[in-house]
Amino acid sequence: MSTKDYLEKDYYKALGVTKTAKPAEIKAAYRKLARKYHPDSNQGDAKAEARFKEISEAYSVLSDEKRRKEYDEARSLFGGGFRVPTGTRPGQGGFGGFDLGDIFGGAGDAAGGLGDLFGGVFNRGRTTAQNRPRRGADVETETTLSFGDAIDGTTVALRLTGEGPCPTCHGTGAKAGTVPRMCPSCQGTGQSSRNLGSFGISEPCKECRGRGLVVDDPCPACSGSGRAMSSRTIQARIPAGVADGQRIKLPAKGAPGERGGPAGDLYVRVHVKPHPVFGRSGSDLTVTVPVSFAELTLGAEVKVPSHRGAPVTVRIPPGTPNGRTFMVRGKGVRRKDGTSGNLLVTVEVMVPKDLNSKARSAIEDLREATAGQDPREELLERAKEA
Ligand SMILES: [Zn+2]
Ligand SMILES: [Zn+2]
């Protein structure tokens, strides 16, 4: 059987059943006809033999749910307007690789590459040697989250762009109103054979690039390739606590599989927008808090902001050095196990630019009172060490 057979032959008519016939009806019709036209009871009757082949072929397709669907789709897609290429001989080749054992065994895949050929027309636009399902490709994309959404987790809409059947020509590659014709070079098989001395090799047909079909009037949208970039939008759940630059795997959200194969995986590279106040270090949040010299020297209780919560009070003991980091437990990023990281508060002295006269004289008094203490004395001493 070839592509041409699918498009030219009316298998329903051959079995005398309707297009909506149930599998049992098809089986019963086939049995009745097969008995009548079987070569054993019609010795030497060429007409009966041809008829027997016809009904056997029809049954092999219509009794297989998958192939029946392909056949129906092919015929509705090409609308019966399929042009038979000149130079081919109708009735020839159609019965070629057909195995009667498969008809009687019932479950065989007699046509071999046929499903693949049609899979090719509808899916990828090229034939492969196997009829096996193929897993979809892994897809990589990226998304940018706000600082808070990265901490809390969120659902984002991801627009994925990938190659799929051209929507204008439904993947046939042919201009509207026309249909591809069977490749005359390979008779629709997509394969050509070459003899190399004593052995022959089979390779994809050059004429149709393995597709089995050639297009006379290419679809203007896809230039006849039958493929087009299309995009779809999916909703992806981003778990809580993702970090900037992290890659998240979303299983089976990648490209759809072919011929019933599983979908590929989707990898999402996450970018996190910086927060104006908070930083992140793993599951800890960081914040730098301005303090005055007096607060560090004399000690103080200072209010520091927490992320999405009320400010917390941090007690600064007297004599705290500038740049010291305090830890506020449990005010960081919530972890998977339900525990939370900490808030790391770093104090930073703010030096006032404008001083009122009272403050100015107080600082001048301080300078005077501490005149005997050189803050660099120790540094200068230690610099002398070898
Ligand atoms: Zn070809
Ligand atoms: Zn197209």
pLDDT digits (tens, 9 = 90+) for 11-42: 898 999 988 899 899 988 888 888 888 877 77
CA–centroid distance, residue 195 to ligand 1 (Å): 17
User: Contact at 8 Å (CB) between 339 and 281?
Assistant: no
Over range 315-340, report the average pLDDT.
93
pLDDT of residue 75: 74
Give the pLDDT mean for 209-232. Answer: 82
Choose among 226, 216, 215, 355: nearest CA to 292: 355
Neighbours of ion ligand 1 (CB under 5 A): 183, 185-186, 205, 207-208
- For residue 308, what pLDDT is reported? 85
As a whole number, mean pLDDT of residues 311-336 equals 94
Distance of CA 214 from the midpoint of ligand 2 (Å)? 13
Distance 124 CA to ligand 2 centre (A): 12
pTM above 0.75, yes or no: no
pLDDT at 107: 34
Length of the chain: 386
Predicted confidence (pLDDT) per residue in 222-265, tens digit = 888 777 787 888 899 998 889 899 999 999 888 777 667 788 89
Overall average pLDDT of the 165-189 stretch: 81
Q: Where are the beta strands (DSSP E) in the chain?
A: 139-145, 154-165, 181-182, 191-196, 199-204, 213-214, 227-238, 247-250, 266-272, 279-281, 284-291, 300-306, 309-316, 325-328, 343-349
- pLDDT tens string 112-148: 333 333 443 443 334 444 345 678 788 899 999 999 9
Are the beta carbons of 143 and 242 closer than 8 angstroms?
A: no
Question: What rounded mean pLDDT belongs to the chain?
Answer: 80
Closest-CA residue to 376 (of 384, 368, 364): 384
The residue among 113 and 333 whose pLDDT is bigger is 333
Q: What pLDDT score was predicted for residue 258?
A: 66
For residues 102 and 110, is the Cβ–Cβ distance under 8 A?
yes
How much of the chain exceeds pLDDT 70, in percent? 81
Looking at residue 65, what DSSP letter applies?
H
Q: What is the distance in A from the centroid of ligand 2 to the CA of 10?
A: 27
pLDDT confidence of residue 3: 58
Q: What is the pLDDT of residue 89?
A: 35
Question: Cα–Cα distance between 321 and 219 in angstroms, integer?
Answer: 75
**Residue 297: pLDDT above 90?**
yes
Q: Residue 226 CA: which ligand is closest?
A: 2
